[in-house]
Amino acid sequence: MECSFALIGKGYVLVASDTNAARSIVKMKSDEDKTKILSPHLVMTYSGEPGDTVQFAEYIERNLRLQHIRNIHELRPSSSASWIRRSLADSLRSRHPYSVNLLLGGYDVATESPKLYWIDYLGTLADVPFAAHGYGAYFVLSLLDRYHNPEASLEEGVETMKRCIAEVQTRLVISLPSFKARVVDKDGVRDVPLS
């Protein structure tokens, strides 16, 4: 039972993910960070099989860093999303595919615009204004459809995120008591308090 969601606002991307680590009916941790900062202007949330998610997130992080070292510049969010999609698609055709769903948020410094990409375990890539993965998506997508405003300030985006979290905590049969949120904008990636 995992839930992650994200939205684009005026000059930023806000991502949030629950912090539970569970297997079957057992909750093992309640402070698991399911986000990964890939570069100064790129952040990713991941969900799926526990071993696959961590391994794939670290693989992506290291390879994007290697590309930065080799070419002296970071990949733009669209190029990073395409490379990640290709990596998932290639693994799908191997003997050991990754079972990972991703939300990739970034700020394109060249065009000065925020970008959000929805990527699933089958290698499907979509450029979206808001997105969700997991069981919480059944509740959150309708809220985001109703309340998302692409011109919203960061404070309004955080309020929309809080509304989504409250809905998941109210409606979902499994308790997801805590979420971690990060924002990426022209100043980089940073944590956002939700309380």
Amino acid occupying residue 183: V
Q: Over the range 34-48, which residues count as b (16 or more CB within 10 Å of their CB) and which as e?
A: bbbbbbebbbbbbbb
The tokens describing 193, both together, are 């308090």
Q: In whole angstroms, give the CA distance from residue 36 to residue 180.
A: 11
The position carrying tokens 């940073």 is 190
What are the DSSP E strand ranges found in 109-145? 113-119, 125-127, 130-134
Walk along the chain (195 residues) and give the pLDDT tens digit of each residue.
789 999 999 999 999 999 888 877 887 888 889 999 999 999 999 998 888 899 999 999 999 999 999 998 889 999 999 999 999 999 999 988 999 999 999 999 999 999 999 999 999 999 999 999 998 899 999 999 999 999 999 999 999 999 999 999 888 887 788 899 999 999 999 999 987
Angle (nearest 5°) at CA 174 between 156 and 182: 30
**Is residue 167 within 8 Å of residue 147, measured between CB atoms?**
no
- Give every strand in the sheet of 130-134, ordered side by side: 130-134, 3-9, 12-18, 179-185, 188-192
Parallel/antiparallel/unpaired status of strands 125-127 and 130-134: unpaired
Amino acid occupying residue 119: I
Q: How far apart are the first and last CA of the chain?
A: 22
The position carrying tokens 């999303």 is 81
DSSP class of 62: H
Angle (nearest 5°) at CA 95 between 94 and 96: 90
Q: What is the pLDDT at residue 176?
A: 83
Q: What is the pLDDT at residue 104?
A: 97
